[in-house]
Structure 1
Amino acid sequence: MKTLKIILFAVIGIIALALVAAMFVKEDYAVEKEVIINKPKAVVFDYVKYLKNQNNFSVWASMDPQMKKTFKGTDGTTGFVSAWQSKNEDVGTGEQTIINVVEGQRIDYMLRFIEPFESSANAYMATESVDSTHTKVKWGFSGKMEYPTNLMLVFMSMDQMIGKDFETGLNNLKGILEK
């Protein structure tokens, strides 16, 4: 009985320590990757502003060829919704909505993940002229993990988790646009 009490108090102590530590851990995370594409900015932006085109270069879109996709609204404009549903846990179910378009420069999305877990995040693609024939494309993602789940940010790197997928997607985009 004494050993059981010691184990119980140790477990409670570890949980309490984790909860206190979580109060001092950042809640926000952000990932941004970029690539230079050998095309003028207008050509690049005209391609990336359409969410349907992400199906051609995004790593997640290629993970499940059987994924169900639905679209609502006018692609490339504020309010357009691209939704997906997959049995593949790495893809899951969710949707993204265009929330802002700065023509020729940037498109912002709100991502809502439904399965395998519920969360939301902001994402964007931005274009910047390097010169008349080269464009820098930035693909970014940011969100917040509320207390106490923010403690997981100590043990995982969002950059390592999704940064590689962004890099692969940007390289796929580069390959498509430079053909």
Structure 2
Amino acid sequence: MKILKTIGIILFLIIAIPLIAALFTKKDVHVSREITIEQPKKVVFDYMKYLKNQHNYSKWDSIDPNMERNYSGTDGEVGFIYSWKSDDPQVGIGEQEILAIDDANRIEYALRFTEPFKGESLVYLEFEALSSNKTKVIWGFDETYDYPKNILLWFFDLDKMIGDDFGIGLNNLKEIMEK
């Protein structure tokens, strides 16, 4: 009986400690990377507003070039949806929808995953003219992890995971835009 009681206490602590810790863990995640491109702001914006162009610079598109892709709406306009399906768990199944376009300044997307996990995030691109022929591009991501799911933030460095991929995409974009 004493062994069962000890096992019960240990199991309780294994469950309770992470749940209590999650109460004091951040819930909001912000990740962003930026790059400077030697092109006018309007040129960079006009290229990036089309989701189909992401296939040329996004790291995720290069992971599985044979993924199934579908499109709905008019690319480069609010409401356009790009969906994908891949057997590669790094890519999974999901969709991206253009939510808002502030001409030549900012584009907001809803990024929705269904596999390998369910989730929705806000992704954005911001554009700042540094000169007539130089543009700063910021690629960012915001998500809120509700309790108790926020405990996962202890185990995953999203800034590194997602940020590094944004960085690869932005470097690919710079190479394309500056040719």
The TM-score range, normalised by the shorter chain, is over 0.9
Counterparts of 1:100 and 1:65 in 2: how far apart (Å)?
27
Instruction: Spell out the pairing of 1:36-115 with structure 2 (5 A cutoff).
Output: 36-115=36-115
Give the whole-Å Cα distance in 2 for the aligned partners of 1:33 and 1:160: 10
Distance 1:2 1:49 in 2: 65
Distance in structure 2 (CA, Å) of the matches to 1:62 and 1:119: 22
- Pairwise CA distance, 1:65: 1.5
Whole-Å Cα distance in 2 between the matches of residues 130 and 98 of structure 1? 25
Deviation at 1:142, TM superposition (A): 0.9
- Structure 2 partner of 1:27: 27
Alignment of 1:135-174 (within 5 A): 135-174=135-174
Letter in 1 for 2:27: E
Name the count of aligned residue pairs. Answer: 179
Separation of aligned partners in 2, 1:103 and 1:15: 49
**Where does residue 118 of structure 1 map in the other structure?**
118
Amino acid of the structure 1 residue aligned with 2:34: E
Amino acid at match of 1:44: V
User: Which structure 2 residue ranges, 5 or more long, are not aligned?
Assistant: none
Deviating beyond 3 angstroms after TM superposition, the runs of 4 or more aligned structure 1 residues are none
Amino acid aligned to 2:100? N
Counterpart residue type for residue 21 of structure 1: A
State the SS of the aligned residue for 1:74.
coil
Aligned-partner residue type, residue 117 of structure 2: F
Determine the C-alpha separation between the residues in 2 that align with 1:147 and 1:117: 17
Matched residue of 2:76: which SS? coil
Task: State the SS of the aligned residue for 1:66.
Answer: coil
Give the aligned CA root-mean-square deviation in angstroms.
0.9
User: TM-score if structure 2 supplies the norm length?
Assistant: 0.97
Distance 2:43 2:161 in 1: 30
Percentage identity across paired residues of the two chains: 50
